[in-house]
Structure 1
Amino acid sequence: MVQFSAEIARFEKNGEKTGWFYILIPEATAQEIKAGNRQFFRIRGTINGHEFAGLGLIPTGGGGFILAVNAGIRKTLEARLGDMLHLSVEEDTDFEIIIPADLEICLAEDPRLLENFMKFNKANRNYFINWINGAKTEPTRTRRIAMTVEAMELGLDFGAMIRRDKARRQSGEI
């Protein structure tokens, strides 16, 4: 486990990350966690004594990484902007997002659908899975599963599916 301390910061203006709370993991520390890596990866360990797993480190471009500290994590840690966090972490090599049973049943109705879904790399499959799992109501979840099945029929990745849905809504098609 690599141990270090970092302060919670916030992006004031940074594209899609505007408003995010995060901690910066310098290049040297990131290299201790996963040597030779400059791409997104997941970590597990403790933050201020609270256990976490599957947290993603996002590359900053200069060799360092950021760890998003969302509202749920801040609440658990009882932490605010400017607070110092104490971390003990390692790469989370066991992290896995499982295909939800309801999605798998729908995709299994046609072998081509499941095959198209599995052609995507793990990160791209996770976009679909996290989006479906993030639905707050059953009708929303059902609509998202239907959109995912349709995307697999058409061979669309997550971004293309979202753009297609937006265009259809704007045109009044749906």
Structure 2
Amino acid sequence: MVKFNAKVLKFEKKGEKSGWTYIEIPATQANKLKPGTKVSFRVKGALDSFAFEKLALLPMGEGSFILPLNATLRKGTGKKMGDTIKVVMEPDDRALQLSADLLKCLKDDPEAMKYFKSLAPSHQAYFSKWIESAKTNATKTKRIVLTMTACAKKQSYSEMIRSSREFER
């Protein structure tokens, strides 16, 4: 477990990370969490007193990582760019639970299932978390259909999101 203070930062222009709010996990702290790790891994803990789990730290080179602060984390902590936040975290090695509804649908399409299973577990989780975060059954159904179509087309999560936004225009 590591404990430290971090400044809330925001990428102005950084490819697909443009506009992201995040905190930096220095190499010294990351090395205490997962010695020698240079790839993304999941953590759990608290930002100030706001608890979180199953969040991915993203590598930024030289051994440092970032933790993106999504709207839920920003709202839960009440923090914005420039604020200091108390960080307490440890590795979260629990297996991610995939959407049972998605897995049921994938069973009916072996090619889509094959593609989905070829994805890294963290990428499978992007689809699953997006589906399970739906607030209504209609939205969940729509997201499953989009995911099934994306798997049939061998699209990544980000490719699927981009193509669905282009379709809506």
Smaller-chain TM-score range?
0.7 to 0.9
Structure 1 match to 2:22:
22
Matches within 5 A, 1:20-169: 20-96=20-96, 98-110=97-109, 113-135=112-134, 137-153=136-152, 156-158=154-156, 162=160, 165=163, 169=167
1:94 aligned counterpart, secondary structure? coil
Q: What's the offset of the Cα at 1:25?
A: 1.2
Separation of aligned partners in 2, 1:125 and 1:78: 30
Q: What's the offset of the Cα at 1:137?
A: 4.8
Deviations 1:91-113 (A, max 9, x none): 111151x2223222222235554
Q: 1:119 to 1:86 in 2, by over 3 A?
A: same
Amino acid at match of 1:24: E
1:148 aligned counterpart, secondary structure? helix
RMSD value, Cα: 2.9
1:86 aligned counterpart, secondary structure? strand
1:32 aligned counterpart, secondary structure? helix
2:141 aligned counterpart, secondary structure? helix
Name the stretch that deviates more: 11-20 or 123-132.
123-132
Unaligned runs of 5+ in 2: none
Q: 1:67 to 1:159 in 2, by over 3 A?
A: closer
Q: What's the offset of the Cα at 1:4?
A: 0.9
Separation of aligned partners in 2, 1:163 and 1:144: 10
Q: Greater CA radius of gyration, 1 or 2?
A: 1
The answer as to whether partners of 2:99 and 2:129 remain within 8 angstroms in 1 is no
Q: What's the offset of the Cα at 1:81?
A: 1.9
Q: What's the offset of the Cα at 1:88?
A: 1.7
Runs of 4+ residues deviating >6 angstroms: none
Separation of aligned partners in 1, 2:13 and 2:42: 25
2:22 aligned counterpart, secondary structure? strand
- The number of residues matched between the two structures is 169
Unaligned runs of 5+ in 1: none
The two structures have a TM-score, normalised by structure 1, of 0.79
Amino acid at match of 2:9: A
The two structures have a TM-score, normalised by structure 2, of 0.81
Separation of aligned partners in 2, 1:148 and 1:159: 8
Separation of aligned partners in 2, 1:67 and 1:76: 15
